[in-house]
Amino acid sequence: MNQFHYLRSRTERDAIEAAAQRIDSRFLAGGTTLIDLMKLEVERPTEVIDINALPLAGIEPLAGGGVRIGAMARNSDVAHHELIRKQYPVLSEALLSGASPQLRNMATVGGNIMQRTRCYYFRDLSFDCNKRLPGSGCPALEGFNRIHAILGGSDKCIATNPSDMNVALVALDSVIRLQGPRGERTIPFDQFHLEPGDTPERETALESGELITAVDIPAAPWASNSLYLKLRDRASYEFALASVALGIEMSDGRIKTSRVAFGGVATKPWRARNVEEVLAGQAPSEDLFARAAAAAIEGARPRRDNSFKVELLQRAVLKALRMLRQNGAREGRA
């Protein structure tokens, strides 16, 4: 690990001012991503700003509906919170499908949003990587690319965003609250993570010195009728190969509105608006579900080792739709 200066901030202002002074500083939340990457020397900050003393761990209902989750709320506290379990099961399930209980006790909402890819080439300094060193190349394109993206990639990078929580948050129309040197701003979750394009080193819309302070999730009828389905190589302690966040609002036996997002298959938390359009206004049926699954892979660009994800994602969409329909039938909704 390289030498770095450690600073424990007591206020948001201190943290932001410190971060704005050094472009290679990093906020330290739970440390479950950052410290690993520092040990691997993938991250080499000269200053680490510990934000654990900031009062940002609240989970509060918003006036008029919805919920505000502080950036320092731990993943396990969010997952087990009554309001989240009842109103946003997709978020609770996504969080509980991730990592291990010990990691979830440490990991925070802000850190989870910002966690970096698990691409083997990104995490191994003996390989080139356009994210680490722009222009150096991407060995994943022609190399072992089983875990890589089939959606949203470019000829510079096909690394996936590994977060489960992010998939639920993008489906739920969440909004990220940021505090920075120029004040406060908000950004829709779907616009926060960036596709790699020609600049894979730029992963988010976060600007220098900006701190994530909270995530706002609006109230919505589809949010409580929602689920998260995660497919992976083993049943726990494993990242997604394909995952689906799904929420549906029914009216008179038809799908009034839906929210659909994918993880494990894309370079960013992937909101599938084209699938939502297929479902809108339709009565649930196997034929409809098959059309939704087919839409899920529109624009997919599989590589040598990850072409199985084309089939896997379609099966995941089918299964998620069937599961939610069965839940609805049990509870008398559909």
151 within 8 A of 262, measured Cβ to Cβ: yes
Alpha-carbon gap, residue 33 to 290, rounded angstroms: 37
CB of 249 to ligand FAD, least distance (A): 26
Is residue 80 a contact partner of residue 60, using CB atoms and an 8 Å limit?
no
Query: Is-contact 189 205, C-beta < 8 A?
Result: no
Least separation in angstroms between residue 136's CB and ligand FAD is: 21
The pair of structure tokens assigned to 287 is 């034929």
Least Å distance, CB 145 to ligand FAD, is: 19
Q: How far is the CB of 71 from ligand FAD (least distance, A)?
A: 4
What are the DSSP E strand ranges found in the chain? 5-8, 25-28, 47-50, 59-61, 67-70, 175-180, 183-188, 211-217, 226-231, 242-251, 254-263, 270-271
Of 47 and 128, the one with the shorter C-beta distance to ligand FAD is 47
Minimum Å gap between C-beta 33 and ligand FAD is 4
Q: How far is the CB of 28 from ligand FAD (least distance, A)?
A: 5
Decide whether 115 or 130 has the Cβ nearer to ligand FAD. Answer: 115
Say which DSSP state 319 is in. Answer: H
Q: Which is nearer to ligand FAD, 210 or 249 (CB)?
A: 210
- Identify which of residues 131 and 325 has a Cβ nearer to ligand FAD in the complex: 131
Q: How many residues does the chain have?
A: 334
Is the CB of 27 or the CB of 189 nearer to ligand FAD?
Answer: 27
Nearer to ligand FAD, 79 or 211 (CB): 211
Provide the 8-state DSSP code for 10: S
Strand-pair partners of 260: 246
The closest alpha carbon to 296, from 321, 326, 323, belongs to: 321
Q: What are the two backbone dihedrals, phi and then psi, of residue 251, each rounded to the nearest 5 degrees?
A: -150, 125
Question: Which residue type does 131 have?
Answer: K
Question: In the complex with ligand FAD, which residue's Cβ is closer, 71 or 278?
Answer: 71
Q: d(Cα 208, Cα 23) in Å, to the nearest integer?
A: 7
Q: How far is the CB of 261 from ligand FAD (least distance, A)?
A: 13
- Comparing C-alpha atoms, which of 230, 235, 232 is closest to residue 246? 230
* Residue number of the CB atom closest to ligand FAD: 111
Of 117 and 226, CB closest to ligand FAD: 117
Nearer to ligand FAD, 89 or 98 (CB): 98
Q: CA–CA separation, 15 vs 54, rounded Å?
A: 9
Placement of tokens 């993570």 in the chain: 193
Residues that bind ligand FAD (CB under 6 A): 26-34, 36, 71, 98-99, 103, 106-108, 110-112, 114-115, 162-165, 211-212, 239
In whole angstroms, the minimum distance from the beta carbon of 44 to ligand FAD comes to: 12
Sheet order of strands, 5-8 included: 5-8, 47-50, 25-28
**Least distance between ligand FAD and beta carbon 326 (Å):** 25
